[in-house]
Structures are given as C-alpha cells and as structure tokens.
Amino acid sequence: MPTKLVILDRDGVINFDSAQFIKSPAEWKPIPGSLEAIARLNQNGFRVVVATNQSGIGRGLFDMDTLNSIHEKMHKAVFAVGGRIDAIFYCPHTADSDCDCRKPKPGMFKRIAQTLNADLNGVPAIGDSLRDLQAGAKSGCLPMLVRTGKGEKTKTEGGLPDGTLEFADLAAAVDHILGIRKK
C-alpha cells in the first residue's frame, strides 16, 4: 500500500496557469473544483504536498515575499473549503540552471521523500506537463495527467511515462484515487 500522500503540481493543476507566469496573489485563481478535491483527499487521510517549478524567481519576475504571498493565498483558499496543503516544495531556478530540483529532474521529489520520511513508490503525482510526470515517474510515483493547464497539449505531444493515467481535472483524478464512481 503506497504512503497516503498525493503530490500536486501547482500551476495548471490547482490554479489556472499563465504563459506570463503567476506573478502576484491577484493572478492566482483556483480551477473550479480543485480546492474541494484537495479537501476530499485530506478528509480521507491523505497528506497533500505541492511540487512546483517557479523559475519566475530566477528570472527576476517576482521575489520570495511575493511567492510566499501567493502560497499564503492558496493555503487560505484550501483551508476555507476544509482542506490543507501539508507542504510546498519549489524550484526557484531557471531552465538553464544546473540544479537537481527543477522538474523533470527528481530532486524535488527526493526532498519530499526525505522531509516527510515517505516511500514515494506508487504515490500519485498529478501534473499537467510532461516534466511533472517524468519527475514523478523517476521517483517511483504513479504519474497522473490532468487535461487542465497544459494538459491537453501534453497529451497531444505524447511521450508520457509508462502507466500514466489521464483525467479531465484534479477533481476527477481525486475521484479515481478515492475510488469514487460517478453514477
């Protein structure tokens, strides 16, 4: 039985994404049903963590205070519907950095495993981009693609890790994780 943990990407999974990056709390807008989906996971004993590339920091588009404010808004929004995000892990580096934490590299997932003392084998890793799924798969997670955010484009481009499951959105992925069948 995998650890009762779910790893989520942020932009395009929990909130609407932007080609210009989410640079302020005002730009952070939840995808309908995503916050409630997180709450349902919590209510069923799952810890929820976010693993997100935030190269806007490395690019100088926003600073740590702004990132913290965006995450505070997200925490409050999830809390308002009865849920919680247990931890947020992020990579502040740009794509040309030689770091191990930027997805598709597995460094952020390794840090999650170490910090939470968790075995990631079979843990759902939900994302909308190929690099989210690759980082999860390299870490033993079960990759789950949502078609929100960049998900449709990711599906069309193909090359998904073996065993990737696909869902309309986070709410549908959570229905699957919890074994809920729509009548």
> How does pLDDT run across 48-73, given as a tens digit for each residue?
999 999 999 999 999 999 999 999 99
What is the overall mean pLDDT for the chain? 96
The two structure tokens encoding residue 149: 């955010």
pLDDT band at 3 (very low <50, low <70, confident <90, very high): confident
Break the chain into its structural domains and give their ranges.
5-178
**Do residues 61 and 23 make contact, with C-beta atoms less than 8 angstroms apart?**
yes
Identify the CA nearest to 149 among candidates 7, 15, 37, 26: 15
pLDDT band at residue 180, thresholds of 50, 70 and 90? confident
Residue 71 to residue 66: CA distance in whole angstroms: 9
What is the CATH number assigned to the segment(s) 5-178?
Answer: 3.40.50.1000
The residues annotated with a catalytic role in the active site are: 9, 11
> What pLDDT sits at residue 85?
98
Q: Between 26 and 2, where is the model more confident?
A: 26
Element (H, E) at 80: helix 64-80
User: Which residues make Cβ contacts (< 8 Å) with residue 5, sequence separation at least 6?
Assistant: 46, 47, 48, 49, 116, 118, 120, 123
